[in-house]
Amino acid sequence: MKKHKLFALLITFCALINTQANVQSVQAATYHVVKQKNYSKIKPYHAKDPDKSVKIWNKKHTKTIGNLQNYPHTTWYASASVTMKHDSTKAIYYKVKSGNKRHSGYVWHGYLTKGKYAATSTPTTTSVLFNPLNPEYGIHTKNIDNTLNNLVVSLFPNTIHDKQTQLAADLFDHYVIGTEDCIKLESYAKLNNQSDFKNFIYNQLKKELTKYNKTFTDFNGYKIGAYVDPKNKQTIVLLKSPESTPTKLPTVFYDPKNYAGVTSSEYIDTKRNDELISLFPGTIKNDQVQLADNLYQSYFDVSADYPERYDDICKDILGKNYKKKVVFVRSMLGWKDSTYTEGKSDEEIYEAAKKEIAKDLKRQHKNFDDFKGYKIGAYFCPSTEENNYGVTQIILVPPTVKLPKIGKCTFTIDDVPLD
């Protein structure tokens, strides 16, 4: 009897092994490699959508060994493209390894995009230096050669290379530092074929200094900035007395994908904006939504196609399909009509704007308390010199809407490079 039981168990055990072998055989047969192209030089890729769940497979496509979602900032290096066949369908996978060499596997090519992760469109530095006093004007960093600039600065011993003075020089605008107690030296002579730029510019600036009865050593403690045009070597030097008070500069806000969308903190009243936000209970103030509101100023630039411009800004900051779900509540009191603002105090205009906001909500069949969990930003134009003084806008984004990544969107003096 024991022999029969032992024999039965042996039969069952063999059957299980055979079943497992058959399952593995079926799984292995599900996908098989029909072509592999090895790269002579590895190619960098990163996740096309870092938030998307994407499986990393073993070569047989039988086991998941990772997920791209867990490595959103990783650069993957492809050493081969592999064509796998599943039934009658073929698909191309990349054989990849992470930059730190800790993770590897096979990923369908459509989930990856060329280039290192650092090349994505979320910059941490600005490529444009804005004029805070007139933010629609600026200079692209590709037109700045700090090696040349610093060479000129070095001609003036014991001066202080100052970011604000350097920005004024980069922009050819000494109003950025104030004209009081400021010396401006300029050279528009052509370098021609002379290779010794330092000697050339030294002689040019020496001539300029004689107009002020000065020499290079007369500026102890002065703040200095210098700009040399990389193409034609035309040069400007600004020297600001240590006794002078620097001009206070506002912060610049901009659309990092469209530099035409730009404004400054001079046109933003944070206190009023926060008061407007408090009218909508349960909402969450969001910096990115607030940026779209701050740039509402661009809508009223009469020198441009302002509605189209602001539409592009909203697509960049709120998403391409923002019109489908994002709620805009507005008061246009004062726009091109001073009847509503003339002779009235700021408080009276603000109160009138709040009433218009309530009317606009009613027109949209909404109430102030309908937006719990929504991301919010608000803008009230505080400048009496603008033709949209008192115009107000609130942007409300549903919690289910995912905002696009936009990167750095403010510019201050701290962003001016000296090296």
Q: Which of 83, 51, 82 is nearest to 68 (CA)?
A: 51
Round to whole Å and give the CA distance between 110 and 113.
Answer: 8
pLDDT at 74: 83
pLDDT at 310: 85
pLDDT tens digits along 83-117: 998 888 889 999 999 887 878 999 999 999 898 87
pLDDT at 304: 46
pLDDT at 194: 55
Q: What is the mean pLDDT of each run of 10 residues along the chain (419 residues)?
A: 41 43 45 90 88 87 86 86 89 89 89 75 69 90 92 96 96 88 89 76 95 96 95 92 90 85 90 95 96 83 59 92 95 63 75 91 96 96 72 95 91 92
pLDDT at 233: 86
pLDDT tens digits along 167-188: 999 999 988 998 888 999 999 8
CA 348 to chain centre: 37
